[in-house]
Chains A and B, each alone.
Chain A
């Protein structure tokens, strides 16, 4: 019997809700009131997220963000700062019980296993992607997806980005660079190190096409069936509370 997981597509939401809902789903999963879940989401307005251990002031050009109407939020996962473009990027989350056979005690191994769904999905689109330790997916050596994981309450939560299109110039307008002098150099270096589905395939791939490929990728890689579902009332209420009391607060976002 193929295991059935829930598929959520929460569309365009703001950064604080997006991060709050991820945690709310993890809480609901830990209470065993929802099944293992794959969630797709996007960011409106575009936003910057930073890793749990990063300093907001050091990583993000707050003034540029405010000027451009770009949100900034701290994640519950470690890793680096990411610019989430409204139209360039698709974000996913996986929320899985920790004693599931896909989950190893070894974090590195679990990254590789969970990323295999994305690798397979990109392969379906004709993008020969590979997992690159620690937490990246690359094509031709260039990064196309970054991923971050945490565990708590016997639940594994991994989220990550898939670049449909990329704009390194905007990326470095909102992320801090060590000095203005090297901004251009860094933009150039990102252009060499980062790619997107559009860059690789030389064609526009819609969000629908990308999501469909990823759904198949995860189903095949994990041997599961993804059934479209809904955010439960419990998750929605918890997300609203977490957004208000945690992810939208200065206390959380500037705590390091």
Chain B
């Protein structure tokens, strides 16, 4: 059986593609942002209190191990959503993001040299201001690295939801599969790939821009 490659399908369906892309981004990125916000206080707690760290880090490891199709399927069981509900994809993505970033945040905060925090306190920074102005900024490179992985993974993971009818670009993949339309499939795959790589590069750049001291140090060493 021949596989059809209807290239004209692409320009004819720009609206459909755009809508699927918007849906995909809503499903993939919102949970990553929420996950990031949640993991900062959690990571801070884990870096400060070994007891918390002892619980959170293994827990994060366990959660990260659970396959996405399993979590997506179990969310209705856990929080009572219907089968076709964007939350079924967003909650697992949020969980994976937190599981990934809590480790990053914890490690990054633990790596801040004690002399630096001591100096900051000596100069008169109170704990909150010290955290926000000194420790967190120093942790940014590691957090950004973790965030890049989280975003790229999320873009790919979201398409799994199409298996049980939860939208995004994954639905273009399944529709193309059913109707023998290889162009539709390739377009969806390429878009997911491209957007993920663009977001990755974007995060890398933003990360470097907001941490000018890392660049300065490189310059000084030349």
A binds B: no
Q: Which residues does B use to contact A, with CB under 8 Å?
A: none
Q: Which residues does A use to contact B, with CB under 8 Å?
A: none
